[in-house]
Amino acid sequence: MLYHAYEMTHAAVQPLRAQSDALRYLCRSAFSPVAYTPVGKAVAAACEVFENVTRRYRKPEWGIDETKIFGLPVAVEPEVVHSKLFCDLLHFKRDETAETGKRYDPKVLIVAPLSGHYATLLRGTVKAMIPEHDVYVTDWRDARLVPAIYGGFDLDDFIDYVMEFIRFIGPNTHVIAVCQPSVPVLAAVAAMADQEDPLQPASMTLMGGPIDTRRNPTVVNELAASRPLSWFEQTVIHAVPFPNPGALRRVYPGFVQLSGFMTMNLERHMEAHAGLFRHLVAGDCDSVEQHQTFYDEYLSVMDLNADFYLDTVKTVFQEHALPEGRLMHRGKPVDCRKIRKTALMTVEGELDDICGLGQTEAAHDLCTGIPIDDHYHYVQPGVGHYGVFNGTRWRTEIQPRVREMIRTTQFKRNIQAKPAQVIRRVSAA
């Protein structure tokens, strides 16, 4: 019923939005005397804020159509190269006819979180990687748009998707998991190692992921552990209403997730919108644009399939199945000790209030089969959860370290694959 009430509220507010739009136009029109008065500017600003907080935010565009390689502009085109029911595999294809020509950069699969926001949240992550890497991204589909007749999607399916995408991209793939996917990515790599799969990834980078939430538990971790699974099923799981394509599918609705995100820092969000009002009145276009850019992404959320959400709460946050060695995938135990051919890097933010310090680093204690010189760990001072994969610190301090690890791993693999050839090249140089 909550989902139906949400949809009805959106429908009921439409007449108010239409009136607000008309009033905003009146108070902004160059032909209206009111537009030049303090009252007119304040009313127009209030209508703009009202529009922002009441409209439904759709999936944002990637907006990545160009990058720079050696200072030269190179066109980029996102293309779907592999499609699954709940996810598309996007490839950010760089123009090989540009002056830089065809490049043989390391192949990187960025596994976006399936935790409410769209994969476009990683726009900054992708932009920083594209110039020197052949980038693929998991673009998860809104569960509200998948007809219920096609069945569910759970944690086992997520792990299967990761393995299938790695195999599709091919040998020497480097995997980067951002936040929530750290657990299924680690499980997928362990499953591939157990199968002695020849396409095991060359490296995996886990960034701000909940590998072991018992270490420095955050408010989010404590909430997930303090309630029985039945409480989550009864409280936050709802059926998608008609006329959505996924009608009757059980989901964790995006608007419920967004409510949780907002209440964690409610005062900050209220102040941000109060600041938007002041900037609109003052005509500070740069500040308004920054606010709009952030919230267009932040307020765009999607529904999660109920099976996947409940599996994650139970397995990751309540039972701690992976660090305790009890995680199962398709009836087989997941043993991270089997991983021997994949380098491991973990990245954490000093001020992360979603995944506390040490939660991601715990992966190193599980992956004892990886050679010691293939273990990498980095803590970025002064950043929270979002800053681990986006923003200035990501571009200038974290990404260069990930880049170095990828190239070091790639070099080691080349030596192991063709030792004589590499030695001859070094000697000739």
Within this chain, do residues 196 and 151 fall inside the same structural domain, yes or no?
Answer: yes
Within this chain, do residues 210 and 74 fall inside the same structural domain, yes or no?
Answer: yes
Residue 104 three-state SS: coil
Within this chain, do residues 277 and 312 fall inside the same structural domain, yes or no?
Answer: no
Beta partners for residue 301, in sequence order: 117
Examine residue 362 and state whether it is found in any structural domain, yes or no.
yes
How distant, in Å, are the alpha carbons of 95, 135, 305, 345, 408 from that of 174?
A: 21, 10, 27, 11, 12
Examine residue 238 and state whether it is found in any structural domain, yes or no.
no
Within this chain, do residues 79 and 174 fall inside the same structural domain, yes or no?
Answer: yes
pLDDT for residue 423: 41
Write the pLDDT tens digit of every residue in 246-264.
999 999 998 888 777 677 6
In the chain, the percentage of residues whose pLDDT exceeds 70 is 96
Residue 139 three-state SS: strand
Reported confidence tier of residue 191, pLDDT bands at 50, 70, 90: very high
Within this chain, do residues 47 and 77 fall inside the same structural domain, yes or no?
Answer: no
Within this chain, do residues 347 and 420 fall inside the same structural domain, yes or no?
Answer: yes
The burial of 1, by beta-carbon neighbours within 10 Å (0-12 exposed, 13-18 middle, 19 or more buried), is given as: exposed
Residue 170 three-state SS: coil
Examine residue 61 and state whether it is found in any structural domain, yes or no.
no
Residue that terminates a domain, selected from 243, 266, 298: 298
Examine residue 241 and state whether it is found in any structural domain, yes or no.
no
Domain that holds residue 17: 2-56+254-298
Examine residue 234 and state whether it is found in any structural domain, yes or no.
no
Run of H or E including 7 = helix 2-28
CATH classification at residue 354 = 3.40.50.1820
Q: Are 410 and 343 in contact (CB under 8 A)?
A: no
Beta partners for residue 424, in sequence order: none
Residue that terminates a domain, selected from 238, 266, 298: 298
CA–CA distance, 388 with 361 (Å, rounded to integer): 14
Lowest mean pLDDT among 177-181, 286-290, 368-372, 381-385: 286-290
CA–CA distance, 327 with 313 (Å, rounded to integer): 13
pLDDT for residue 272: 79
Within this chain, do residues 50 and 105 fall inside the same structural domain, yes or no?
Answer: no
Within this chain, do residues 308 and 294 fall inside the same structural domain, yes or no?
Answer: no
Residue that terminates a domain, selected from 298, 317, 332: 298
Give the pTM.
Answer: 0.89
Within this chain, do residues 135 and 221 fall inside the same structural domain, yes or no?
Answer: yes
Within this chain, do residues 391 and 336 fall inside the same structural domain, yes or no?
Answer: yes
Within this chain, do residues 218 and 271 fall inside the same structural domain, yes or no?
Answer: no
Examine residue 16 and state whether it is found in any structural domain, yes or no.
yes
Examine residue 129 and state whether it is found in any structural domain, yes or no.
yes
Average pLDDT over residues 312-334: 95
Within this chain, do residues 274 and 328 fall inside the same structural domain, yes or no?
Answer: no
Single-letter residue type at 119: A
Reported confidence tier of residue 417, pLDDT bands at 50, 70, 90: low
67: number of Cβ within 10 Å: 22
Examine residue 237 and state whether it is found in any structural domain, yes or no.
no
* Number of domains within the chain: 2
